[in-house]
Structure 1
Amino acid sequence: MSRRPQPAWTSFDDLREKLRRRWAAGEFLRALARGEPWQPVELPLRAPTSAELAADFGAAQDWLGRWRQVDDTLVRLEWKTVGGRLVGTNTVPAKVRIERPEQLWRLLRAAGEVERFATLLDRTHRAAPALAGWVTDHPMKALAQADRWDRLVDTVRWIERYGGPDRYLRQVDVPGVDTKFIEQHRGVLAELLDRQLPPERVAAEHPPSRFVQRYRLRGKPAYVRLRSLDATPPAGLAPYRELTVRAGELAAVPIAATRVFVVENEITYLALPQVDGALAILGGGYAASALHAVPWLADRELIYWGDIDTHGFAILDRLRAVFPHVRSMLMDRVTLLAHRPHWGREASPVNTVMPALTPDESALYADLVTDTFGPAVRLEQERIRFSRVEQALRVEQVGPFVVPGDVLLNGDDDGGPG
């Protein structure tokens, strides 16, 4: 025999849960912080109907008994009459009314949190009035930060007073605060700084995850690693054959090279053979973006060689947006198809408009995006046969790079030394 389902009549626990949801949404503390007059809280109760009383009078009496035991200093019950000829008339609770805020705090067992919030809000009004609005709007988030709130506010005020493009994040000097603390609480600090700082101090185009850039602090300098491909290091690099320098400093000291090769892979960069009057720059991944700060590259013959994948073309597109004359090397369809056994799979391809690509580059990029050759095909530059690299550089020695399809560059060879 199946058991009769429990009636869906409102219990005191149901009532408390409804109020807890409203508490968790910040409704009550927000009204308190705004100084809004207290409005008694009223909630209707799902009570037995006449038919339900007749069908299960015992269960209804048990339910009614539990409500009669509720502490009347917490809530006031409003009653209504139900019944009929089968069970007679009965009075049942129809509505709960909470008259005073103290009753609600006791019912939710939240009196301590209310006091803590009021103290936090008062301290914020005195220390950083602009942040009091954030506390008011986000009371539960503020309470969650109560143990570290003073440090957060002090960090915001320090950045307001002393932050700027000449200060690293590491220089924030607040007791109990270090860079790890700032990184761990970057999200809430960003919300507070957006309130505290004037608009010109916030670079809103950067998300909070790019904390340094968003709040115009001093970022890590971009470094450029470069080596001479000439037997004699050129002026600006000599007496060294290889250096790693800040991009800003490199911009101020032009190097007397006629050609500059930008390559992604480190071992390929190191293995490039001699090319008269040439310079190699390691632009691994999106590090090539650091070259935007080196204006004298506009006066050099600039060749970019990256992986044949969507990200490789994205880097080329960005570089060409700054240096329209940059040419690509070994990033063509013939090179890709000649190395089919060495194909890999790109983990997270990009698919966006790249207006700076040439028609041939755009066609190959489109084929990669649409998986014409297979899913997420990529050819990393270190997988290209080195004899092909040497052939490409020999062509560069004697004149401008020949378009892909040139017999010397793309034809079959025996794989031996160039």
Structure 2
Amino acid sequence: MTAHLLTPSDAIEKLHRQVERKWPAAVCADLGVGDPVTFSVPLRPGVSTGTAVARLGYAAWHEWHMRWREFADRHPGVQIVRKPVSVQGVKGDYPATLVADLDAAAALVSATAPPAVDVARARALASSLLFTGAILTPATLRATCQLGADDAEVLLSAVTWLSQNPDASAWTARQLPVPGMHTKWLDTHGALLRDVAGRDVRDEVRPRPAVLHLTYADPEHAASGRRRHDAWTTGDTHDIAYRPRIVLVVENRDSRLWFPPVRDTVVVEGGGKAAAALLADVPWIRAADHIVYWGDMDADGYAILNGFRAALAEPAPDGAPPKTVTSILMDVTDLHRYAAHGVNHDKGGRPIKASPAVLTHLTEGEAAAYDTVATAGPAPFRRIEQEAIPLTDAATRLLDVLPKLLP
């Protein structure tokens, strides 16, 4: 360790990092959860003898000592632990360690930088968590404090509701009658609720059956005059009009509704990440000879493909074997071909963000395209929407890949 002297500003910077790291444990300890926490910063590491002082220089030592004397006068609530050192043959007590509790440390830090935590709010939330019977740990407290006021209130209401309702199987996740909880709150905050409540209500609620919207693309079926569009619900007795050899999953409704005729094919509307994963357990999709995916060329589109492919790579709950998923119009060559349709803003005019997600189930060509649109660096564009690509191109590409898929 190199001997050196910390100035008050140096010490406060180190204290800031400690507060950011340890404040949840300190708040919990104040309420009897965990061991007491103090914040301390050595002020002269490696400097405990007169020889060490001489190496640093007496002028530097004196200036440092005066600065800490002034600091102590300005901050009487902060403890400066002093230890003896003999300097030029004279023994005296000099600052050695800055010690503070959470309140004093937070006050010191907030004077020079944005506060790491609102201590009063953290204590109030910690007390409320304990009052509701929640599991209070530094991790759950930190996560709770990161919520907005409304979401934190819903979390507390949810913990209370769960303590009063040991069985949640009568409701779906969106039907839970928790005061203040909107229908999608659990999608975002379910993991935190699990950690503070000690049970995962997402595993208890009544599952929502998958509802698939599909289009019959087979030309012979269309010529029969029967319905072209249909819906299929898991667990129902209704069956589809014919068993397809080819299932094409698309991301957007327009692409499904108006897909051109292709023999032995059913076009299914994927409907996003969660819905695409549910498709993997649909028996007649698994039973198809070939499963093909086509989505937007953007971070979400590739994430959906990645998740869909990963889900189908595992055996189904009913024992059906894994299946391979092929994509169309999602290769890096397609990205360049349709680059004129690339956009950088979403429908609300907001810039489309990069994605740090690592997708391990993409082909080399798909991964190159994903890296292009999802990179954290400059990108030519962030999205090519599926609807911008002519459906005739998609049908042609599907027919092009089928000979490679057919046995």
Task: Pick the TM interval, shorter chain.
Answer: 0.5 to 0.7
Counterpart contact for 1:307–1:381, Cα < 8 Å: no
Residue 49 (structure 2) pairs with residue 49 (structure 1)? no
Partner of 1:358: none
Residue 18 (structure 2) pairs with residue 22 (structure 1)? yes
Q: Select the structure with the greater relative contact order (CA < 8 A; seq sep ≥ 6).
A: 2
| 3-state SS in 2 of match to 1:94 | strand
Counterpart contact for 1:78–1:96, Cα < 8 Å: yes
Q: CA separation of 1:177/1:91 partners in 2, compared to 1, >3 Å: closer, same or farther?
A: same
> 1:264: how far off?
4.3
Partner of 1:253: 238
| 3-state SS in 1 of match to 2:136 | helix
Match for residue 136 of structure 2 among 107, 128, 133: 133
| 3-state SS in 2 of match to 1:93 | strand
Match for residue 121 of structure 1 among 117, 120, 126: 126
Partner of 1:91: 92
Q: CA separation of 1:352/1:194 partners in 2, compared to 1, >3 Å: closer, same or farther?
A: same
Counterpart contact for 1:81–1:90, Cα < 8 Å: yes
| 3-state SS in 2 of match to 1:178 | coil
Partner of 1:152: 155
Partner of 2:6: 10
- The one-letter code matched in structure 1 to 2:197 is Q
Partner of 2:113: none
Q: Structure 2 matches for 1:271-282, cutoff 5 A?
A: 272-273=260-261, 280-282=266-268
Q: Which moved more, 1:221-230 or 1:47-56?
A: 47-56
Partner of 1:415: none
Q: Structure 2 matches for 1:318-337, cutoff 5 A?
A: 318=312
Over residues 338-374 of structure 1, what are the superposed CA-to-partner deviations in whole Å (9 max), with x where a residue is unaligned?
A: x99x9679x9996659xxxxxxxxxxx78x6899xxx
> 1:190: how far off?
1.4
Q: Structure 2 matches for 1:173-184, cutoff 5 A?
A: 173-179=177-183, 182=186
Residue 216 (structure 2) pairs with residue 227 (structure 1)? yes
Over residues 197-238 of structure 1, what are the superposed CA-to-partner deviations in whole Å (9 max), with x where a residue is unaligned?
A: 44xx56xxxxxxxxx5x665544733131337466679xxx9
Q: Structure 2 matches for 1:345-364, cutoff 5 A?
A: 352=361
Q: CA separation of 1:49/1:382 partners in 2, compared to 1, >3 Å: closer, same or farther?
A: same
Q: CA separation of 1:71/1:147 partners in 2, compared to 1, >3 Å: closer, same or farther?
A: same
Cα distance in 2 for residues equivalent to 1:158 and 1:298: 40
Q: Structure 2 matches for 1:344-383, cutoff 5 A?
A: 352=361, 382=391
Residue 236 (structure 2) pairs with residue 263 (structure 1)? no
Partner of 1:243: 229
- The one-letter code matched in structure 2 to 1:177 is M
Match for residue 107 of structure 2 among 106, 109, 114: 109
| 3-state SS in 2 of match to 1:241 | coil
Cα distance in 2 for residues equivalent to 1:305 and 1:233: 21
Cα distance in 2 for residues equivalent to 1:324 and 1:61: 75
> 1:242: how far off?
2.0
Q: CA separation of 1:115/1:219 partners in 2, compared to 1, >3 Å: closer, same or farther?
A: same
Partner of 1:207: none
Counterpart contact for 1:49–1:83, Cα < 8 Å: yes
Cα distance in 2 for residues equivalent to 1:68 and 1:246: 74
Q: RMSD of the TM alignment (CA)? A: 5.9
Counterpart contact for 1:45–1:94, Cα < 8 Å: yes
| 3-state SS in 2 of match to 1:225 | strand
Match for residue 69 of structure 1 among 42, 67, 73: 73
> 1:71: how far off?
4.8
Q: CA separation of 1:196/1:50 partners in 2, compared to 1, >3 Å: closer, same or farther?
A: same
Cα distance in 2 for residues equivalent to 1:369 and 1:390: 19
Partner of 2:192: 191
- The one-letter code matched in structure 2 to 1:253 is H
Cα distance in 2 for residues equivalent to 1:156 and 1:231: 56
Contiguous gaps of at least 5 residues in structure 2: 109-116, 340-354, 374-388
Contiguous gaps of at least 5 residues in structure 1: 1-6, 203-211, 354-364, 393-400, 407-418
Counterpart contact for 2:214–2:231, Cα < 8 Å: yes
Q: CA separation of 1:326/1:182 partners in 2, compared to 1, >3 Å: closer, same or farther?
A: closer
Counterpart contact for 2:170–2:205, Cα < 8 Å: no
Cα distance in 2 for residues equivalent to 1:117 and 1:329: 50
Partner of 1:170: 174
Counterpart contact for 1:228–1:241, Cα < 8 Å: no
Cα distance in 2 for residues equivalent to 1:264 and 1:279: 11
Q: CA separation of 1:77/1:297 partners in 2, compared to 1, >3 Å: closer, same or farther?
A: closer
> 1:153: how far off?
1.6
Query: What TM-score, normalized by structure 2, do the two folds share?
Result: 0.55
Query: What TM-score, normalized by structure 1, do the two folds share?
Result: 0.54
Percent identity between matched residues is 14
Counterpart contact for 1:45–1:93, Cα < 8 Å: no
- The one-letter code matched in structure 1 to 2:154 is R
- The one-letter code matched in structure 1 to 2:231 is V
